[in-house]
Chain A
Amino acid sequence: MTALTFPAKFDYLDEIRDFVGDQARASGFNERDIYSIQLAADEAATNIIEHACDGIPEASFELTCDFKKDRLVITFFDHGKSFDPSKVAQPDIKADLSDRKIGGLGIFLMRKLMDEVRYEITPSGNLLTLVKRKG
């Protein structure tokens, strides 16, 4: 299992995308799925940095990315603030320009791009799991 630790800073998003992208490519995903995987991972990491680790000095999180059987499983583990995903309003993608709310877009995209998105609050931290099955 390949596990990396990243400081909770946006500067590392490039590396995070490269890491999951390389794993996805090596596992035989097509270019469209590789992009989706990278985007989902970016949105996940961004939320951890922006929200979970907000205000926590020197915060970091752990990332794993492994191909098992027919699926890529990516996990993010942070030690920051937990949240309740069910309390995040879904963006109304049919609303017109002035009514369009921008919050919740990251979570919304993750759910659309990946086959499974699971969030668990554990005693030691928050575990986010993203799964993409090879088409």
Chain B
Amino acid sequence: MEVTIKEFKHCNMVSVTGRVDSATAPQFTQALDDQMDKGVFKLVVDMSALEYMSSAGFRALLAAQRNCKRYNRGEVFLAKVPDRIREALELAGFTELFKTFADPLEAVGNF
């Protein structure tokens, strides 16, 4: 699993590639925490190259969303969510907690 960050005017994009499971979720969490520690609470999680995500990854997303939405300071958008991952997010009841976009740049533009 790799995480790369791209900075935009109003938000940062966190692109996560590969697989997020209990082994790699700590790194994913760390990457999200790094952004919030820097005071960036408007985040686009770009999933275009994400192959797999288990509930460990969902937990990380939930924690980030709670933190970012606190005091109305920001939000986490999900972009280009692969079908299998979207289905699992739906099963877990997570899709209503996140705005999702088909295109990462469209997500960026929504901040």
Interface residues of A (CB under 8 A from B): 10-11, 13-14, 17, 31-32, 35, 38-39, 42-43, 46, 49-50, 91-94, 97-98, 100, 102, 105-106, 108-109, 112-113
Contacts and interface: CB of A to CB of B under 8 A. Distances in A.
Contact of A97 (B21, B65, B91): B65
Interface stretch (B3-11, B39-47, B53-61): B53-61
A10 B19 CA distance: 13
A113 B22 CA distance: 18
B55 A98 contact: no
Nearest to A96: B97
A100 B62 contact: yes
Nearest to B19: A14
B22 A13 contact: yes
Interface in B27-84: 52, 54-56, 58-59, 62, 65-66, 69, 84
B92 A97 contact: no
A109 B21 CA distance: 14
B84 A42 contact: no
B62 A39 contact: no
Contacts of B69: 97
Contacts of B55: 43, 46, 105-106, 109
B66 A98 contact: yes
A38 B87 CA distance: 14
B54 A43 contact: yes
Given A39-B54, A105-B55, A32 B87 contact: yes
Nearest to A31: B84
Contacts of B62: 97, 100, 102
